[in-house]
Amino acid sequence: MSDQITKCPEQEELRKCVFNQMPANELDAVKAHVKTCPKCRVSFTTILKEKVAKENQGIGPIPPATKTAADSPSKPAEIPSQKVDDSHSTQQKVITPVFKPAYPFLDPPTKAGGLGSLGDYELIRVLGEGGMGIVFEADDKKLGRKVALKVLRPELTDENFRQRFEREGKISSSIQDDNICLVYQAGVHKSVSFMAMEFLKGEDLDAKLKRDGWLPIPVVFKIAKQMALGLAAAHEKKLIHRDIKPANVWLESGGPGGDFKRVKLLDFGLAKSTEVESTLTAKGMIVGTPNYMAPEQICGEPLDERVDLFSLGCVMYRMLSGKIPFEKENTLAVLHAVVESEIPSLNDLDQKLPKEVYGLMTKLLSKNPADRPATAKKVVAMIEAIENSGLEGEKNKVLSSMLFKAPDIQRQKKTKIPVGAIVGAGVILVAVVIGIILLVFKFFDGTKN
């Protein structure tokens, strides 16, 4: 190619120019032509935008099109989707994808390194994914703050899913409480439903229990009391959560590995008003997580605030014991156990567990809602009464917390020896002693003769 171009370069040459993959003199000539040719300038800009957008989505550099004999001039060359890592032996080739997963429902990012944008939010990374939604760490470009952006999966086009998601946003944003995750905004952008929530540091209770097993009673009471305060705020709005479980209890902390400072209840997707009949749940349908559901929830009976208190009791049981309550081999067996079986005894785990703690657990896990505490505020009062029972002054409060012992779930139960066995062993021992004495006498009698 000469330094002066008299005709427009082909698309392949423009792509090589964008990616700086041609000799310097040819590169300068193409760029000079692009500056003076409106048609080529449009094509050049289109290729450049494609390159920048793909690189910002973390896909990496786009190779220029490679023309083959089978390709027609108008057909764009395909970008290879895989490459082979030749650093391994030929017997064990490792194939890695060139492209990272992308989210096609997002607009191109406005910052380098971002995943994309959705309305006023720049998405940084994925925090978690569930059956209905994806949660991203995002920057609110308008207000300049970090948020957790929950997005309904676009493939869930069913109107029921969309209504439930939008309803969760409205319910969550209506409850302003220190122990409930705050929702800043709920909306729709280009047919994609989203919720912008406060960005929380820390971990959920389920992750902590999977790592630590069980928790000391003062920690259990601190978590349970704040959960009850959050539930009380929801119940004042005539809302029941219906899905209280460790995964929906967030332990907020200042940073990784730090002690939690506050509990936040998450996910009001299954919340139900006690005043308005919801049309989103079919009559007779069971919603919730089986191991943490109340008997009346399973049986399809009318529900009130005490259904959440049973779930709270189940969460407390797991925190104290390290075991999932009513754990069985399948869901049907779990549902049957919740309705019919007695509470698995905590006394089997630690004989030193204070009877007041066991009494609170018994009340919360009562099969009959009438036998449970009447309100979440009552649960808070009961916990505080146990923490401070019969003690005065700060020193005694500290001593009280030291007396609370976490269950030693590794310890084997002491085996009780039956009284009959003890008596039998004593009789045998006496007989052996008498036999030895007789043998001694016989020995001396023989030596005298």
| pLDDT tens figures, 183-222 | 998 888 988 889 999 999 999 999 999 998 889 889 999 9
Q: How many domains does the chain have?
A: 4
DSSP string, 225-261: HHHHHHHHHHHHTTEE-S--SGGGEEEEESSTTPPEE
Note whether 189 and 143 are same-domain residues.
Answer: yes
Note whether 368 and 224 are same-domain residues.
Answer: yes
User: Sorting pLDDT into bands at 50, 70 and 90, what band is 49?
Assistant: low
User: Sorting pLDDT into bands at 50, 70 and 90, what band is 425?
Assistant: very low
- Write out the catalytic residue numbers: 243
In tens, the pLDDT along 334-344 reads 888 888 888 77
Q: Is the C-alpha dihedral spanning 200, 206, 207, 212 positive or negative?
A: positive
Q: Which whole number is the average pLDDT over 141-166?
A: 84
pLDDT at 358 over 80: yes
User: Sorting pLDDT into bands at 50, 70 and 90, what band is 79?
Assistant: very low
Residue 422: the pLDDT is 43
Beta bridge partner(s), residue 362: none
Note whether 238 and 368 are same-domain residues.
Answer: yes
CATH number of the structural domain spanning residue 341: 1.10.510.10
Residue 199: the pLDDT is 93
Note whether 273 and 343 are same-domain residues.
Answer: yes
Of the ranges 67-81, 281-295, 310-324, 418-432, which is most confident?
Answer: 310-324
More confident residue, 421 or 172: 172
pLDDT at 123 over 90: yes
CATH number of the structural domain spanning residue 145: 3.30.200.20
Note whether 216 and 306 are same-domain residues.
Answer: yes
More confident residue, 167 or 303: 303
Last residue of a domain, one of 198, 224, 243: 198
Note whether 155 and 241 are same-domain residues.
Answer: no
Query: Among 100-104, 127-131, 351-355, whose mean pLDDT is lowest?
Result: 100-104
Last residue of a domain, one of 198, 227, 261: 198
Whole-prediction pTM:
0.62
Average pLDDT for the chain: 74
Note whether 27 and 46 are same-domain residues.
Answer: yes
- Domain coverage including residue 194: 116-198
Q: Residue 117 belongs to what H/E stretch? A: strand 116-118
Q: How far apart are the first and last CA of the chain?
A: 135
Note whether 376 and 304 are same-domain residues.
Answer: yes
Residues contacting residue 306 through CB under 8 Å, at least 6 positions apart: 294, 369, 372, 373, 374
Q: Which whole number is the average pLDDT over 66-75?
A: 39
Note whether 264 and 371 are same-domain residues.
Answer: yes
